[in-house]
Amino acid sequence: MSEYIAPLRDMRFVMQELAGLDQVVSLPGCEEASPDVVDAILEEAARFAGEVLSPLNRVGDTNGAKWQDTVVSTSPGFKEAYRQFVDNGWNGLGCDPEFGGQGLPRLLSTAVSEMWKAANHAFSLCPMLTQGAIEALMIAGTDEQKAAYLPKLVSGEWTGTMNLTEPSAGSDLAAVRTRAEPVGDGTFRIFGQKIFITYGEHDMTDNIVHLVLARTPNAPEGVKGISLFVVPKFLLKADGTPGERNDAYCVSIEHKLGIHGSPTAVLAFGDHGGAIGTLVGEENRGLEYMFIMMNAARFNVGLEGLGDAERAYQRAVTYARERVQGTEVGVRGGPKVPIIKHPDVRRMLMSMRARIEAMRALAYVTAAAQDNAHANPVETERRKGQAFADLMIPVVKGWSTESAVDIASLGVQVHGGMGFIEETGAAQHLRDARITTIYEGTTAIQANDLIGRKIAREKGATILAVIADVRAATAQLDGDLAGLGARQSVAVDALERAVSWIVANFAGDPKAAHAGAVPFLHLLGIVAGGWQMGRAAVIARDRIAAGDADPFWSAKLATARFFADHFLTQAPGLAESVVNGAAGALEMADESF
């Protein structure tokens, strides 16, 4: 079975040419990311992903995590791989140097994260949740909490979790019923149960730091009455080391469709007198703080979609090159050929590859915007970066993961009947990818956030500025790229039509607007992805014109053309669904379903 090989050439191209690595590393605090440092990190991450994590991907799928009497054992090899991961400093790559991190740009850590997720989705979930906990404590934690927990979380010696969901409170967090009873000195006893807690229990570290949503006794109902608490698996002794076991136990783990190597825990807090926790920030602002974790997690789940898609594509290409079946179309009496010669197999592979390149470009450009939002010395540039990132994170999450499910499914199709057989490995990528459209907010939740908070609330200001940028880039698609430019022009017109309709109708007809939210998310993903593919095509054309014969550039032109011909052409239909599709979704009586 083939192992993952990081697509370093495309990663470097996107980072440098599309996301503007040189500009990012010039930002205050990012100066350490010299070209030599970036190259060395990418090369070493690729080696670790391919040689250490990738071989454990199948192991995690077939063995899975095991639960027995509140104790969870991770899949064979995971514990040892995690120790290498921590010892090599990977966990603190983008974290604040004040707490032991390396402070490298989000753009670089995004490329590295893609490798972890592509090589071993289940393994990568553990450090992803830890990163979310770090971000929440950095922004809302007390000085004491930061000193006690952040150095260990940044190093990876301890891991973190986010505890939102309950049996009766899924996406509707207003229904959270876990309670926190004060016992003095800022300490609370936590009582309740949380479900779907990724790496809520495991054997890879000697402590787990749970961030838990709960209600204090006098809290108002609804989301305005939720507070956030730090609840460690082991309480800390005076010297900061793990001491007494806290009253937070794993009572089971879920049996899932995919990501078997990642233990998804049911955690019981307070069955033996109350789990000790401390308040993060102010009472009743817990959901606000948890969204810090959730927003970071949503971007990273988008990278999971990208990683799963890349791995499915690599496996499908390997199989298509090796599987000999049928004669080449149009060659009467010819020899049997590898299936990569067959037109529809090529169409499927191009459909996979073109979207992956678009997804990667959009994610990395969004990461660079986050770097500018955080570190650009010019306030207007910080605001611009934040607005762009806020707009695109739901797209990176929603469009990339929905695309990943289809791409992984195409990977099975390329394998034919063998794709349905677990031993080929193709099915695992489909099973693993399927959760990405659901957790950290379903595709509809991303789409509703997109049309409501990110478009209607500001009357489309940010997205209209993006549309102007797309139109300016489209003007560069001239000469032999004029056909691609024509496709992109029609697509951006369709996007603008849909934006205008949402801005005009969101307040007066919210049901109709929400009925078209997911088609709109796909529409924006396709146009934003096409925008980046068009930029790449211009660069490739110019390199070829300058005499560069590297086949990388002709491949870039091919994928850009395919994306335009097969995906940008979908934009008018999606816009029509946004503008006129609500009646078909809403008119049928409930009892007729």
Which are the catalytic amino acids? 440
Nearest to 365 by CA among 401, 403, 391, 404: 391
User: Which of these, 467, 470, 532, lies nearest to 500 by C-alpha position?
Assistant: 467
Tally of CA atoms within 13 A in the half-sphere of 430 that contains its CB: 19
DSSP β-bridge partners for residue 327: 336
CA angle 578, 526, 388 (to 5 degrees): 90
Q: Decide if 526 contacts 567 (C-beta within 8 A).
A: yes
524-563 exposure pattern, b = at least 16 Cβ within 10 A, e = fewer:
bbbbbbbbbbbbbbbebbebbeeeeeeeebeebbbbbbbb
Contact 349, 317 (CB under 8 A): yes
Give how far Cα 451 sits from Cα of 290, 292, 366, Å: 22, 20, 18
Angle, helices 426-434 vs 286-322, to 10°: value is 160
DSSP letter string, 512-534: HHHHTHHHHHHHHHHHHHHHHHH
Residue 88 DSSP symbol: T
Gyration radius from the chain CA atoms: 24
369 Cβ neighbours under 8 A, 6+ residues apart? 384, 385, 386, 388, 389, 392
Residue 517 one-letter amino acid: A
Residue 309 contacts residue 359 (beta carbons within 8 Å): yes
Find out whether 226 and 173 touch, Cβ atoms under 8 Å.
yes
Number of Cβ within a 10 Å radius of residue 486: 14
